[in-house]
Structure formats: C-alpha cells, structure tokens
C-alpha cells in the first residue's frame, strides 16, 4: 500500500480573519501584462500628450545640449570633427534618432554614402568611400524585417546583417548594417522582444498607466471647476406638473430665473412656493492626491518633478538641486549607452571619408569625452578654476608637468578645459627634453 504524504506549503494564514486563505481578497491578486503599444498609440502620445513628449525630449535635450569633445594622439582631432559635424549639420538628425528611439522603442539612422556602391544591401566599401551624401531617420515601425547573420564563422554571427526599410514615401529598400546606426529602445527580455518584431520597448510601455492617471486627473479638475458651484430650486407641485406633461411651464420658469440672474444679478422667487439654494463642491485632498500621482510618474519615468512639471520639490528647504544632480547622473549613463554608440560610428565614418580632413586615415588613438550636463553658476565656476590652477601650479613646481604643456592642454580649442588629458607623446617628449638637458650639463 502506497503511503500518502501531506503536501505542506509555508505561509501566513488566519482562519478567523481569512488572511492567507482562499477567501483572502489578496490571494488571487496577480500582475497582468499590458498589450504592447501600437504605432498609432505611440504617435499620439509623442505628438499630442504634453507630458508624454517631455518624458522623451527632456533627457535627450540634456544630452545634446552638453555635447562632447574628441581627444586622442593628435591635438586637432576635436576641432576638425566638430567642423565636419557642423558642415553636415549632424546635431539635428542625432537628436531625432534619440527621440524616436526612446518614444518608439527603436530607431535607425541610414547613411547615404558616396562609396561607389549602388546596392545599399552590401557592406560599405571603405577603399572608395568619399563622403556622406545624406542622412535619413526611421522609427522601428518603418523596418518590418531584420535579416540576421547565420554564418557561424562570421564576427557578426546572430546579429542583424541587413534591415528592410519601408519609408512612408518612396520604395522599400535593404540597408546593410555597416550603413546604419541603430538604437534598440528600452531593454526587454528575448521572449517579449520576439513578440515585438525583434525590437526593444518604448518608454511609454513602462509609464502608460501613470501617464494616463495624471492626465485624467488634470482633465477632471477642469470639470470640477466648471461644476464647482451648483444651484437647486424647490418648486411646489413639481411632480404633478411633470406627470401632467406640463414641462414647458417648468422650463419657462427656469428660463426667467436664469435671465433675471444674468441681467440684474437677481433671482426672483415665489415666497410661498420656491426655495433657492447654492451648493459648493470641496477640493479637500485633491492637491495631495495630484501631488502623489505626479511623484509616481516622476518615479517610474526617472525624471524629477522639478524637471518634468517645472515645480520645486515638496518639503522644508527643498530646492530640487539634489534630484537634478542625480538625474544628470542617470542621463549620463543613458548617453553612454545610446549617444556614444551613435557618435563613435559617425566620427569613425567621417574619419574614413577621403573628402574630409582625415583623408580616410583614422587616428590610432581617439576617444569621446562628454561635457558636464550640470551648468555651474559663475561663482562655482570661478572656485573650480582657482582649485585647478592651484593644482597645476603644484605639479609644475614639483617638476611633474611642463608649463607649456599645461598651457596648451588647459586652453586647447580656445576654452578652459577642466580635465587635463595628456598623451604618451606629451609625457615622453617632456622626459626626453629633461634627459637632453641632463646630458648637456654632464658634458
């Protein structure tokens, strides 16, 4: 005979209060995933919903406003890259790419290259690459199909090889990944990504409920104000008049009352048969409720209330400065994951174009340095410069750095640079000069 065993599951339960039992109202509470947002829903949120648009544009604007610099083994890299970017007017398409990536859950920048290759589905021919002729931006809904590399011997194995692009205007075409700069939206699991045609998620997917609640509350406030004060009038024999079908008598009486109220700011009543009252609605608790909803939206979007709603943080001596600094740190991480990818590919492409300054020769060492997003006050900036100049003087007096190198690097590009970036050539050159001086003295 098979021995029966009891299955025991640990947990809190109280048969009197029904906590933890099948009759507990929380027992069957489960999270249910929302449907993936459609193209039209995302379009409407980005175009028509003011808060929805700010959730997308605020972080991107902060990234673009602070911009970047390029440093490396040559002093003129940054100035020439900035000149090429200005000539091609790249700031606008870069911003559009970041907007669409965040709003639609993915976007693609197609580079129209002059490399002698007519088939855009083939890799870039860097040997004949001359220039960037044009740039177009597509949201991920314009890319119905992604073709993946199935060659196990390829460095691009299981990554996108070509993108099928279907513009709203013009013919569909195929674009090789070397001709594209692609951003993938918000990270999601492979399971959901497969349902989303291989793309990441829109920012609206994670904040939809909170955005809807805040918008609905603000919209309801308008109705509350319209109906903030209502009037009532007691009329004798009201029901008999209605049952007798004499609604016109009631309507005529109300029209006369409304006319006298608007013309003479007076209401005439029958002293024996009518009573007029005013009723005001209460707004108690509404500001607190709205404030909590705003904080909830701020929390899930990652944007401080100070930035998203243009109001100071609540609390004693609260200015929102700490919130903004933390937000800048968060945006800095985001730009390393998005903007840096875009800039690295564009900068490298500009270097490899033979019609531009670098003549197709990419410098051996170069890297992107993002500028600070936090805008210091005049006093803060002055204090920083004093401390930096003191540190420079200490290094020079100790013989660690050469004054000419400090002068050159600190004011490179005609502006004050907080970070002193020294190349190996700077250090070795200074060392060799000192060795030569030592040899001459000994001789």
Going by C-beta distance under 8 Å and a sequence separation of 6 or more, which residues neighbour residue 399?
A: none
pLDDT in the model for residue 440: 46
pLDDT in the model for residue 333: 95
Place of tokens 């500001």: 287
Sign of the CA dihedral running 343, 344, 346, 351: positive
The bridge status of strand 366-370 relative to strand 68-72 is antiparallel
pLDDT in the model for residue 29: 79
3-state DSSP percent of the chain in helix, strand and coil, to 5: 50, 15, 40
Instruction: Report the distance separating Cα 313 and Cα 189, nearest Å.
Output: 35
Coil vs helix vs strand at 432: helix
Q: What is the pLDDT of residues 96-117, one digit of tens each?
A: 999 999 999 999 999 999 999 9
Coil vs helix vs strand at 144: coil
Q: What is the DSSP string of 237-289?
A: THHHHHHTT-HHHHHHHHHHHHHHHHHSS-----TTTEEEEEEE---TTHHHH
Instruction: Enumerate the β-bridge partners of residue 147.
Output: 162
CA proximity to 305, closest of 317, 319, 316? 319
Q: Dihedral (C-alpha) 393, 397, 402, 407: value to the nearest 10 degrees?
A: 20
Q: What is the DSSP string of 306-370?
A: HHHTS-PPSSTT--SHHHHHHHHHHHHHHHHHTHHHHHHHHHHHHHH-TTSTTTT---SSEEEEE
What's the Rg (C-alpha) of the chain?
34
| Cβ–Cβ < 8 Å for 303, 217 | no
| Cβ–Cβ < 8 Å for 39, 141 | yes
For residue 63, give both structure tokens. Answer: 């990234």
Instruction: Report the distance separating Cα 384 and Cα 74, nearest Å.
Output: 27
Coil vs helix vs strand at 136: strand
Instruction: Report the distance separating Cα 127 and Cα 7, nearest Å.
Output: 71
pLDDT in the model for residue 425: 66
pLDDT in the model for residue 328: 94
Q: What is the pLDDT along the chain (443 residues), one digit of tens a residue?
A: 556 566 555 667 777 777 777 777 777 778 888 899 999 999 999 999 999 999 999 999 999 999 999 988 887 899 999 999 999 999 999 999 999 999 999 999 999 999 999 999 999 999 999 999 999 999 999 999 999 999 999 999 999 999 999 999 989 999 999 999 999 999 999 999 999 999 999 999 999 999 999 999 888 877 777 766 777 778 777 788 788 888 888 888 888 877 877 777 777 777 777 787 776 777 777 788 889 999 999 999 999 999 999 876 655 445 667 888 899 999 999 999 999 999 999 999 999 999 999 999 999 999 999 998 887 778 877 888 889 889 888 888 888 888 888 887 787 766 777 777 776 666 665 555 555 544 444 44
| Cβ–Cβ < 8 Å for 253, 235 | yes
Q: Dihedral (C-alpha) 59, 43, 210, 322: value to the nearest 10 degrees?
A: 10
């Amino acid at each position: 005979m098979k021995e029966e065993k009891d299955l025991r599951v640990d947990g809190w339960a109280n048969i009197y209060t029904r906590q933890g039992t099948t009759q507990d109202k929380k027992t069957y509470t489960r999270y249910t995933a929302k449907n993936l947002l459609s193209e039209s829903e995302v379009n409407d949120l980005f175009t028509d919903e003011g808060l929805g648009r700010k959730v997308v544009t605020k972080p991107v604007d902060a990234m673009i406003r602070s911009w970047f610099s390029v440093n490396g083994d040559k002093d003129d890299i940054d100035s020439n890259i900035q000149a090429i970017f200005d000539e091609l007017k790249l700031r606008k398409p870069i911003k559009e790419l970041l907007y669409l990536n965040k709003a639609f859950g993915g976007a693609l920048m197609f580079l129209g290259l002059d490399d002698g290759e007519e088939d855009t589905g083939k890799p870039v021919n860097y040997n004949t690459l001359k220039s960037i002729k044009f740039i177009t931006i597509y949201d991920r809904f314009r890319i119905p199909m992604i073709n993946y590399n199935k060659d196990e011997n390829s460095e691009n194995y299981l990554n996108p090889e070509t993108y099928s692009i279907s513009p709203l205007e013009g013919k569909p075409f195929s674009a090789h990944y070397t001709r594209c700069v692609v951003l993938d939206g918000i990270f999601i699991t492979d399971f959901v990504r497969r349902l989303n045609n291989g793309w990441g998620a829109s920012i609206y997917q994670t904040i939809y409920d909170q955005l809807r609640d805040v918008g609905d509350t603000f919209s309801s406030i308008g109705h509350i104000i319209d109906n903030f004060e209502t009037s009532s009038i007691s009329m004798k024999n009201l029901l008999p008049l209605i049952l007798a079908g004499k609604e016109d008598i009631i309507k005529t009486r109300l029209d006369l009352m409304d006319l006298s109220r608007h013309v003479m700011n007076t209401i005439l009543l029958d002293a024996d048969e009518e009573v007029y009252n005013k009723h005001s609605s209460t707004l108690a608790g509404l500001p607190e409720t709205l404030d909590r909803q705003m904080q909830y939206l701020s929390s899930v979007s990652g944007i401080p209330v100070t930035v998203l709603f243009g109001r100071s943080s609540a609390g004693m001596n609260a200015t929102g400065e700490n919130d903004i600094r933390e937000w800048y740190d968060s945006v800095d991480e985001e730009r390393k994951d998005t903007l840096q990818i875009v800039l690295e590919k564009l900068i490298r492409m500009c270097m490899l174009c033979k019609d531009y300054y670098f003549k197709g020769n990419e410098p051996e060492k170069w890297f992107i340095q993002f500028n600070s997003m936090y805008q210091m006050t005049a006093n803060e900036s002055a204090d920083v410069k004093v401390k930096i100049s003191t540190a420079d003087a200490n290094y020079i007096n100790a013989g660690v750095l050469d004054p000419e190198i400090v002068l050159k690097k600190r004011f490179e590009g005609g502006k004050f640079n907080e970070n002193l970036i020294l190349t190996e050539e700077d250090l070795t050159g200074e060392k060799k000069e000192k060795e030569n001086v030592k040899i001459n003295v000994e001789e």
